[in-house]
Structure 1
C-alpha cells in the first residue's frame, strides 16, 4: 500500500486508549459507535482520532471483522480530505463501499456497516458527478443504506447529514418533480434531516457545512446570509479530534473563496 498523505496538524490530537475511552461519548456523538471492549480495537480508534488514518486503517483490517468499522471510517475520511490523487480517492471509496457492503451482509444489524457503505458510495458518486451516479443506479443504493442506518440507529447524526445532503443534491441535479417521482427525494424532508442532525450533534461542523450547502442548492441566493453564518459557526467550532479539525479547516477554506 502506498504511503498516505499525513494529517496536516501532527501531534495536535494525541489520543491513547484511555483518553479515547474517556471521551468516547463526545467523539462518537456523530456515529453512535459502541465503545469497544477489545483493547486492540480501542487502540485502533485512538490512532484514528489522532489523525493517524493509515495506521488506523491497517490496525482495523488486522483485527478482522470487529475492526472493519474503524478501517472503513479511517479510509473514508482520509479519501475525503487528504488524498490528492483522484484515481486513488475513487479506488479507496470503492474499496470501502465493497468492504462495508460485505460487512452489512454478514452483520445486517450493524448500523455503521450500512452507513460507511452509503458514505463511500456517496462520495464516489459526487466525484464522478451526481448525474452520472444516478444514471448508474448508485443513488438508490446510497439512499437505501442510509435509511437502513437510521432505522437501526435513530440517533445516528452522520446518517441524517448524509441523507439530507442526498435529497438536496438530487433535487439540485434533476429538479424537485423528477427527484420526487424517480428518486423519492423532497426538499422539506432533506432540510428536516439536516436540522435533526444538528439537534443530535449541535457541535458538528460538518452538519453545519452540509446544511449550508443544502440551503444554497435548494434556495439559492435568498439563503446566502444564513449559509454564510453556518459556515462561520463551522469554522469557529472547537474540534474534538483530527476529523473535526479537517471539517473546520474546510469551512474556513470555503469562507475564503
Structure 2
C-alpha cells in the first residue's frame, strides 16, 4: 500500500530540505573563507540571503581588505559594514552580525577624520555591547573591546573624555577573551598590539611568544602566525 503525505507533512519536508541545503551552503562558504578565498566566500555567503550568510560575507570582506591595495580598503570596509547591516535586518538576534558591524566600523575609523572616527567609535562600542548581550561568551568581542579602549586611550585625553575609554579596561577584556579561547593565537597577537600602544614591549613579546606556539590550520590562522613571528622578531 502506498502511503500519501498530507500537505502539512509535505511542507515540513520541504522546509527541512531547505534548511539542510542552507546549512550546507553556509558550510561551503565558510570552507572557502578558511581557504583564504575571501571574495568567493563573501559572494557565496551573501547569496544565501540569510543573517548568518551576510555576517560571514561581512567577516570575509573585512578580512580580505587586509590583502587588498590601500586604495581599496575603505570601500571594502564600507561593503562589510553594509553586509553586517543586512544581517541585522534579517536577524536582530544575530550576535555575529553586530560584532562584524563593530569590526567594520573600527576599521573605517582609521580612514576617517577625528570627529567621524569618534562617532564610529561610539557606534562600535554600542554594537560590541549588543553582541555580548546576545552572546556573553564571544571571545572576539572582548578582544575588540580591549582594542577599542587601547586605541582610544592612545589618542589622548580628548578621545577618552568623549568615548569613555579607560586604560584599566584593556587588560581585563583581553584576559577574558584568552580565558574563553586560550588556543586562538590572534587574541594574543591583538593583545600584544594593545600592549605596544601602551609602550609595554616586554608584555607584548610575552604574548607573541605564546601566540607562535599555538597551532594554525586555516589560511587566516597561518597568516596570523607569520605576522606574530615577524612582530616578535622585531621586538627581540
The TM-score bracket by the shorter chain reads: 0.7 to 0.9
Residues 230, 133 of structure 1: alpha-carbon distance in 2 compared, 3 angstrom cutoff: farther
Does structure 2 retain, via aligned residues, the 8 Å contact 1:112–1:149? yes
The alpha carbon displacement at 1:131 in A equals 4.1
Per-residue Cα deviation, 1:68-126 (whole angstroms, up to 9, x for no partner): 1221111111113x11x112111110111122123223321100110111111111223
2:74 to 84, 90, 104: 90
SS of 1:254 mapped into structure 2: helix
Flag structure 2 segments of 5+ consecutive residues without an equivalent.
Answer: 1-20
1:151 to 125, 133, 145: 133
Where do residues 217-236 of structure 1 align in structure 2 (5 Å cutoff)?
Answer: 217-218=197-198, 220=199, 223-236=200-213
Per-residue Cα deviation, 1:127-147 (whole angstroms, up to 9, x for no partner): x26846434x11101111111
SS of 1:64 mapped into structure 2: coil
- Tell me which residue corresponds to 2:96: 112
- Tell me which residue corresponds to 1:4: none
* Greater relative contact order, per chain length (Cα 8 Å cut-off, separation 6+): 1
- Tell me which residue corresponds to 1:49: 34
1:211 to 191, 202, 208: 191
- Tell me which residue corresponds to 1:76: 62
Residues 102, 75 of structure 1: alpha-carbon distance in 2 compared, 3 angstrom cutoff: same
- Tell me which residue corresponds to 1:160: 142
SS of 1:38 mapped into structure 2: helix
Tell me the TM-score normalised to structure 1 length. 0.77
Greater Rg by CA: 2
The alpha carbon displacement at 1:256 in A equals 3.4
Q: CA separation in 2, counterparts of 1:184 and 1:63? A: 38
Tell me the TM-score normalised to structure 2 length. 0.83
Residues 97, 241 of structure 1: alpha-carbon distance in 2 compared, 3 angstrom cutoff: same
Question: Would you say 1:194 and 2:174 are equivalent positions?
Answer: yes
Residues 130, 196 of structure 1: alpha-carbon distance in 2 compared, 3 angstrom cutoff: farther
Superposition RMSD in Å: 2.1
Does structure 2 retain, via aligned residues, the 8 Å contact 1:130–1:173? no
Residues 247, 38 of structure 1: alpha-carbon distance in 2 compared, 3 angstrom cutoff: same
Q: CA separation in 2, counterparts of 1:47 and 1:190? A: 33
SS of 2:174 mapped into structure 1: helix
Does structure 2 retain, via aligned residues, the 8 Å contact 1:164–1:194? yes
- Tell me which residue corresponds to 2:163: 183
Where do residues 237-252 of structure 1 align in structure 2 (5 Å cutoff)?
Answer: 237-252=214-229
Flag structure 1 segments of 5+ consecutive residues without an equivalent.
Answer: 1-35
